[in-house]
Amino acid sequence: MSGVVSIIGCGFVADLYMRSLRAMDGITVAGVYDKNPTRLAQFCAFWNVPSVESLDELLDRHPRDGVVLNLTNPSAHYEVNTACLAAGCHTYSEKPLAMSVDDAKALHAQAQAAGLMLASAPCSVLGESAQTLGQALRNGIAGTPRAIYAELDDGFVPQAAYKKWISESGAPWPFEDEFRVGCTLEHAGYYLGWLISWFGSVRTVVAASAETIPGKEGTGPFAPDLSVATLFFENGPMTRLTCSIVAPHDHQIRIIGDDGVLACKAAWDNSAKVTFAKRMTIRRRLMESPFPKTIKLRQPTHPKVKRWGAAAMNFMLGPAEMLDAIREGRPSRLSNDFALHMTEVTLAMQNAGETLGAQAMTTRCDPMEPMPWAQ
C-alpha cells in the first residue's frame, strides 16, 4: 500500500487515525489543518507531521491522487466535505457524512458529477472480523440466515469519568459533541456497515429513539441516547440493531441460521473472535453447542493496531482502500452509494422518535466485494 493523505481536524479521533497510520507502510501525510492553531501545533508536534495555515492551503497543496480525511466535528462535516469535493479531492469523512439526508444526497451528487470518491467512516467493515463473518455467510456455515441481533450498547456513559478521557496528543473526549450528535450517528455504522456490505440495501427501517437520560452535562439540545431499529433488507434477514449509552456494555452480533449461530462479541476489535455454535438436540432439549467453533481465515489479513482505550481498530483501513483503488484504477469498496445509504439508514434510526415508525429508504447500494484475503 502507498499514497498520501491530508488531515482536516485534530480532535480526539485524529490521534486514532495517526496511531493506525503508523502501522500502514507507505502512506504519508501531506499536511494537517485545524481551525484552532494551538491544537494544530500540539498535534503536529506530537506526531511530527506538517501543518498548514488554512483550509484553502491544505486543499491547494493536496495531491489529486491522494485522499483528504475530514476529521472535524460532525456539525462541520457537510461544509468541509463540500469544500474538499469542490477542490477536486477524493474525500474520506468521519461519521456521519452529513447531519441530514438532503445534505448527504447533495454531497453524493457533487462527488458523482466530479468523478470523485466519497466515503464515510467507520471502516471496520474492511477488518478481519467483519470479513471473516462475511465469508462464513457466503460459505453457508450456519445455513440460511433467518435473523440477526446486533448490539452497540456502551454502558451508562453519562456517569463515566469521561473528562479523564484524553487522547495521546492531549485532546479531550468531546462529550458535548457526542451527546449532541448522539450515539446512533456515532456508532450505528459499526455494525450497519457490516450488514449492508453483506446484504446490500435496507428497504425499510422500523425504529424508535429517545433521550432517556435528561440533564446531561453541557449545552444541549441533546440527541437520543437510545435507539432500537428493525431493518428489512431487500435481500437479507430481518435484523434488530440497538444503540445506546444507557444499557450495559454489549457489542455482540449474532447471526441465527438454520444450522446454528455465528457470533462476534466485539465490534471495536478488528481481530475479535468469530465463532459458530451448531444447533443440536440433547435429551430432547434443543440448544446451541456450549463449545462454539472458532472460524478463521486462511490468509494473512491486514495490519493490526494495538488496543488504545476502548478500541483495537485500524482506522486507516478505509483511506488505504481508497488509495489502493485510485492507484489500481478501480472502484473503491467504500463506494459513494455505500456512504450515502449507510447515512440515510442511520439518520432514520436516530430521528425516529416515538411516532415515525416504518420509513422507506430512498437510496440503494450493492453488497460489497470481499477483501482479496477473504474471498
Which pairing describes strands 90-93 and 118-120: parallel, antiparallel, or unpaired?
parallel
Q: What is the pLDDT of residues 142-173, one digit of tens each?
A: 999 999 999 999 999 999 999 999 999 999 99
Q: Is residue 310 part of a domain?
A: no
Residue 51 placed within a domain: yes
Phi then psi dihedrals of residue 70, to 5 deg: -95, 100
- Of 70, 103, 120, at which residue does a domain stop? 120
Q: Which domain holds residue 108?
A: 3-120
The per-residue pLDDT for range 251-276, each reduced to its tens digit, is 999 999 999 999 999 999 999 999 99
The Cα-based distances of 3 to 61, 120, 327, 334 in angstroms read: 15, 19, 8, 17
- Please count the CA atoms within 13 angstroms of the CA of 43 that sit on its side-chain side: 31
Domain membership of residue 307 (yes or no) is no
Interatomic CA distance for residues 74 and 9, integer angstroms: 11
Q: Is there a single domain that holds both residue 149 and residue 76?
A: no
331 found inside a domain: no
Give per-residue pLDDT as tens, 291-329: 999 999 999 999 999 999 999 999 999 999 999 999 999
Task: Specify whether 228 is located in the same domain as 360.
Answer: yes
90 and 135 share one domain: no
Q: What is the CATH number of the domain that holds 95?
A: 3.40.50.720
The pLDDT tens digits for 97-148 are 999 999 999 999 999 999 999 999 999 999 999 999 999 999 999 999 999 9
Domain CATH code at residue 282: 3.30.360.10
Same-domain check for residues 150 and 284: yes
Q: Tell me: do 114 and 141 sit in the same domain.
A: no
Q: Of the candidates 102, 120, 138, which is a domain's last residue? A: 120
Q: Which residues pair with 277 in a beta bridge?
A: 261
pTM of the complete model: 0.97
Query: Looking at residue 59, what is its pLDDT?
Result: 98
Inside any domain, residue 316: no
Q: How many domains does the chain have?
A: 2
